[in-house]
Amino acid sequence: MSEVLVRVENIKKHFAGTRKFFSREREIVKAVDGLTFDIIQGETLSLVGESGCGKSTTGRVLLKLLEPTEGSIHFDDQEITHLNENELRPYRKEMQMVFQDPYASLNPRMKVKEIIEEPLIVHGIDAATRKKRVNELLETVGLNTYHGNRYPHEFSGGQRQRIGIARALAVNPRLIIADEPVSALDVSIQAQILNLLKDLQEEYELTYLFISHDLSVVEHVSDRVAVMYLGKIVELGSKTQIFENPLHPYTKALLSAVPIANPRLKRERIVLKGDIPNPANPPSGCAFHTRCPFATERCKVEEPKYESYGDQHFAACHFVEELA
Amino acid sequence: MVEHVLEVNDLQTHFYSDAGVVRAVDGVSFSIKKGETLGIVGESGSGKSVTSLSIMRLLRDTPGKIAGGEIVYNGRNLVEAKESEMRKIRGNEIAMIFQEPMTSLNPVFKIGRQIEEAILLHTKCTKQQARERAIEMLTAVGISRPDKVVDSFPHQLSGGMRQRVMIAMAMSCDPQLLIADEPTTALDVTIQAQILELMKKLTVDFETSILLITHDLGVVAEMCDRVVVMYAGRAVEESDVYTIFENPKHPYTQGLLASTLTLGEKVERLQSIPGNVPIPSKMPEGCKFAPRCPHAMERCWAEEPTYDAYSENHHVRCFLYEEEAK
């Protein structure tokens, strides 16, 4: 049995929104509403979904950048849910993050070598080792050592993303949470960064939690995929299960909505009606019923259970068997 | 002879700044037939948006100027058209939709008023008729409860609905040409699918020609009849959509296609184009793609290739095909 690195049980993250009109009550946005999943050592697990589905919040809760409202997070069999900042520090070294926007996530007033060095200082590594490590890291991510003396604005988007990756790698983490790492990049550069992430995973035996809205990227990088809709996982399975045998109607619609770079391909497309509902006021029953082409009366009142359909393939829909 | 709605010949749009001249568009030629959808693809900084702004002559408030070439719309050269003439064309004969449905609607006016504005400006009709037309257009773009939406403000609508409103506004005067600059980039995939379906339906119903600017090759494959590939301000290849995807000639087009991920296609390792898009102040001397090109020859560094017809329907800017082109 492969080793579980992170175990997430029923985590919820609710945000207090604006106060309701003439009321003391606050509107509650259930950004993440009861997620349970494992991340296995050495794998890439992807979270996919559209804007507002809670995928980024999940990443932040795992890193404890946000305090979960409920539920527990285990890292390497240790519960880290309620640890304070000091107790958490050794775990921070094990999990690092790569952000979406390579323009906003690097301090413009620091030199590249200082940016990469910073996590090493925090974790108390001596100056000589730090210097050596920074140069090593620059080369690992495909930059030159002389780049260390420059400032972020001197680099292109792709190069900045490499700097962000070097910073994440500095403390030898085991888990990297990559939140839309290639969404801001042009296709030709996107391919460079995806290849780099793949090489690094092999070389350093990294585990990735890959957050993305782009299904073609997800298919390329993942071992397993979790599809999210309005704060919940609606389907989770291996890459093959999700892309070749999707069970949930949302996954099917999402896959059929992706434009494919082949002009001869004529597909029957499932076009969903309507918009993504407001997470502050999610629909009753199955949250997807307002847009689902197969929704029945039952879907409006009863929330479907998240159940296994064999071989580690999970889905939350009343009619998985009927729709197969 | 096929009728062209729009013909762009060797367009040059330059930006003048203290640091020097930036040739954002430097040699772009293409033409659009009636009812055709032409795609312009390219990465950021390739000059595709500046091309569309040049056609609409919307560069007045920028340091940009059309420095050469011609834009022929129904027999008239728009480069020389007066501002008053342009005002009659904009929104009436050529309409445009932008990438950001959030920022391209005025937040302080109701949706209805914003759609009516163009109708009242370009057609002879009463306010009442304009309002009816606005509701009719909102229905045509698939907005439910259009009679409510005309009286809403932009912030009350979702991103997908705002983009529908933008399309309704653009189509309200039956334009001959619709310029769509990354119309679905800011939207989620399921909403993108809705908007693309809608645009396809409109080209059939209204026989509108579309100039679609995008970086997404999937969208191009789905929507376009013909494709122009741009790199560093130049058109580097043009052909029908099948030829571009199945038999691309320019090394940049080939690289772009190879580095694009396609759903259901299993690749172990992605091909990528080494290096970065050149920045305007450090443009290479000869072919602008030479520093990243796997086939670059000595000549490519010194001399810029011309944009030649490889076959009747296929233009390429590359020395590799010079012999064949002649």
Per the structure block, which two tokens stand in for B64?
Answer: 């940009």
Average pLDDT score over residue span B228-244: 94
Q: Does A263 touch chain B (CB under 8 A)?
A: yes
| Residue pLDDT, tens place only, A144-188 | 999 999 999 988 888 999 999 999 999 999 999 999 999 888 888
Give the nearest chain A residue to B262 (CA atoms): A216
For residue B130, give Cα distances in angstroms to B127, B140, B154: 5, 15, 19
Residues forming beta bridges with residue A46, ordered by sequence position: A210, A225
Nearest to A261 among B43, B260, B272 (CB): B260
Which helix (H) or strand (E) segment is A63 a member of? none
Contact: A259, B219; criterion CB under 8 Å: yes
Contact: A189, B267; criterion CB under 8 Å: no
Contact: A190, B259; criterion CB under 8 Å: yes
User: Is A225:A192 a contact under the CB 8 Å cutoff?
Assistant: no
| Residue pLDDT, tens place only, B2-44 | 678 999 999 999 999 888 888 899 989 999 998 899 999 988 8
| Residue pLDDT, tens place only, A254-278 | 999 998 888 888 777 888 888 888 8
Which string of DSSP letters, residue by residue, matches B278-298? Answer: PPGGG--SS-TTGGG-TT--H
Residue B325's pLDDT band (boundaries 50, 70, 90)? Answer: low
User: Is A243:B264 a contact under the CB 8 Å cutoff?
Assistant: yes
Q: In whole angstroms, give the CA distance from residue A117 to residue A111.
A: 10
Residues forming beta bridges with residue A227, ordered by sequence position: A48, A235
Mutation target among A262, A271, A272, A291 for the B interface, most CBs of B within 10 A: A262
| Residue pLDDT, tens place only, A72-112 | 999 998 999 989 888 998 898 999 999 888 888 999 999 99
For residue A108, the 8-state DSSP code is T
CA distance B321 to chain A (A): 23
Nearest to A257 among B190, B217, B267 (CB): B190
Q: Does A257 touch chain B (CB under 8 A)?
A: yes
| Residue pLDDT, tens place only, B42-80 | 888 888 989 999 999 998 888 889 999 999 998 899 999
Q: Does B306 touch chain A (CB under 8 A)?
A: no
For position B229, what pLDDT does the model report? 96
Q: Does B216 touch chain A (CB under 8 A)?
A: yes
Asked whether the ipTM of the predicted complex exceeds the cut of 0.90, the reply is: no
Contact: A261, B194; criterion CB under 8 Å: no
Q: How many C-beta atoms surround the C-beta of residue B279 within 10 A?
A: 11
- CATH number, domain with residue A174: 3.40.50.300
Question: CB pairs under 8 A, 24+ apart, for A67-72?
Answer: A68/A11, A68/A12, A68/A13, A68/A32, A69/A12, A69/A13, A69/A14, A70/A10, A70/A11, A70/A12, A70/A34, A71/A8, A71/A9, A71/A10, A71/A11, A71/A12, A71/A34, A71/A35, A72/A8, A72/A9, A72/A10, A72/A11
Residues forming beta bridges with residue B4, ordered by sequence position: B33
Question: CB pairs under 8 A, 24+ apart, for B119-124?
Answer: B119/B172, B119/B173, B121/B91, B121/B92, B122/B88, B122/B91, B122/B92, B122/B173, B123/B173
User: Is B195:B187 a contact under the CB 8 Å cutoff?
Assistant: yes
The candidate with the shortest Cα–Cα distance to A313, out of A216, A215, A225, is A225
Average pLDDT score over chain A: 90
In this model, does residue A189 exceed pLDDT 70? yes
Domain that holds residue A278: 4-323
Q: Does A239 touch chain B (CB under 8 A)?
A: no
For residue B56, give every residue at least 6 positions away whose Cβ sits within 8 Å of its Cβ, in sequence order, or none: B86, B90, B94, B96, B179
Q: Does A69 touch chain B (CB under 8 A)?
A: no
Nearest to B256 among A188, A195, A291 (CB): A188
Contact: B261, A219; criterion CB under 8 Å: yes
CA distance A273 to chain B (A): 8
Contact: A219, B257; criterion CB under 8 Å: no
Q: Does A254 touch chain B (CB under 8 A)?
A: yes
Contact: B262, A260; criterion CB under 8 Å: yes
Q: Name chain B contacts of A159, Cβ cutoff 8 Å.
A: 276
Per the structure block, which two tokens stand in for A265?
Answer: 């391909």
Q: Does A246 touch chain B (CB under 8 A)?
A: no
User: Is B206:B215 a contact under the CB 8 Å cutoff?
Assistant: no
Please count the structural domains in chain A: 1
Which helix (H) or strand (E) segment is A51 a member of? none
Domains annotated on chain B, with CATH: 4-93+175-271 (3.40.50.300), 105-172 (no CATH)
Q: Name chain A contacts of B192, Cβ cutoff 8 Å.
A: 257, 259
Per the structure block, which two tokens stand in for A288?
Answer: 């997807």
0.95 cut: is pTM over it? no
Q: In whole angstroms, give the CA distance from residue B279 to residue B293.
A: 16
Using DSSP's 3-state secondary structure scheme, residue B314 falls into strand
